[in-house]
Amino acid sequence: MIQALLKNKLKDSFTDPHFTPSEDSLTSSIIGMLQYLPDTVFWQLLRSSCGKQSKIPKEIGEIKSIQFWEKMTPDGKQNSRYVEPDVWIEAEKFDVIIEAKKRDCRGQCVDQWKKEILSFSSEVNNINKTLIFIALGGNILLQDCTLSIGRKQYNVYTSSWYNLLHEISNYAEDLTLKSQPEGTKAITRLLNDIISVFSKHGYVDVKWLSDLQPIHLNNRSEEAIASLLEFDNKRILQDFYNSKKQITTNNIFKIWKLK
C-alpha cells in the first residue's frame, strides 16, 4: 500500500486516483509504520521529537498494543457522543495518547485534550499507570504543560511533525554510517520509507548550515567539483586549487579569460 501510494499506483483502487494528504493519512502512515520498529527505538524517536528540554519519561516499557481512533465512551458532562483519540499506546509502565494535527503551526485545542483525558480515565480506569498525553503537530509553542482536571493533574507533552521527521532522518543517517547487521538493514529500509511518506505529505527534513560537517579541500578537489557541474569547467577549476600557488583576483581573471 505504501509503495503504491508513493508511486501513484492507486488509480485502480479508488474512484479518484488523486491523493490528497490528510490528518488521518499522515497519522496512520507515520505512526502506523513506526510501530513496526523495536519498542525502544519507536519510543526514542517519539520522545526525542518533544525536544531536549521535555520531561517526558525516558522509558515506557514493553508496548502491548497500539490502537488507532479507538472510540471511547463520553464522560457524561462535556462529551455527548464519543471521544476518538488518534492513537492509544498501551505500554508496560504507561498509557500514551497521541492527539495529532495535520499542520505543525495550529490546530491543537486544550478543551479537546481535557475531553480525551476525561473519557480515557473513565473508559480505561487504570490507577496503576500514569497517562502520557502527546500533542503531535498543531502547537504554537513546543513546551511541556500541565492540565488540572478535577483533583488530578496531567502532563501534556508537545511535539511537531518536523521534529519527528528530523529525529527519524538523523537516526537513519547514523545507522547508514555504521556497519549494519541484518536486523539493522531492515530498520534502515523502514525508516527510508517513512521519510518518503513524510515527503508525500509535504514534510521535508532541512539540514542547517551549522549542522553540516566541514569539507577539507585538497589537490583532487578540482576534479570532484568539476564532475558535479553541468558543463565542462575543468579549465576554469584546474587552477583554483594549487598548494604551491596563491590565488589572487588577477589569477582568477586569467582563468576565466581562457574559457
The highest-confidence range among 19-28, 214-223, 230-239, 248-257, by mean pLDDT, is 19-28
Q: What is the pLDDT of residues 86-140, one digit of tens each?
A: 999 999 999 999 999 998 888 999 999 999 998 898 888 777 789 999 999 999 8
Q: pTM for this structure?
A: 0.75
Buried b / exposed e along 148-182 (16+ C-beta atoms within 10 A): eeeeeebbbbbbbbbbbbbbbbebbeeeeeeeeee
What is the predicted pLDDT for the residue at 121?
Answer: 86
What is the predicted pLDDT for the residue at 259?
Answer: 46
Q: What is the pLDDT of residues 225-242, one digit of tens each?
A: 555 554 444 444 454 444
pLDDT at 12 over 70: no
What is the predicted pLDDT for the residue at 42?
Answer: 97
Specify the DSSP class assigned to residue 83.
B
What is the predicted pLDDT for the residue at 133?
Answer: 97
Q: Which of 63-72, 79-88, 125-134, 237-246 has the lowest mean pLDDT?
A: 237-246
What is the predicted pLDDT for the residue at 231?
Answer: 46
Single-letter code of the amino acid located at 132: I
Identify whether the C-beta of residue 221 lies closer than 8 Å to the C-beta of residue 229.
no
Average pLDDT, the chain: 81
75 CB neighbour count, 10 Å cutoff: 18
What is the predicted pLDDT for the residue at 205?
Answer: 83
The mean pLDDT of 158-186, rounded to a whole number, is 86
Split at pLDDT 50, 70, 90, the class of 245 is: low
What is the predicted pLDDT for the residue at 241?
Answer: 45
What is the predicted pLDDT for the residue at 232?
Answer: 46
Share of the chain above pLDDT 70, in %: 70
Q: What is the pLDDT of residues 45-60, one digit of tens each?
A: 999 999 889 999 999 9
What is the predicted pLDDT for the residue at 139?
Answer: 92
Single-letter code of the amino acid located at 58: K
Q: Which of 16-20, 44-48, 254-258 has the lowest mean pLDDT?
A: 254-258
Residue 113 burial by CB count (10 A; 0-12/13-18/19+): exposed, middle or buried?
A: buried
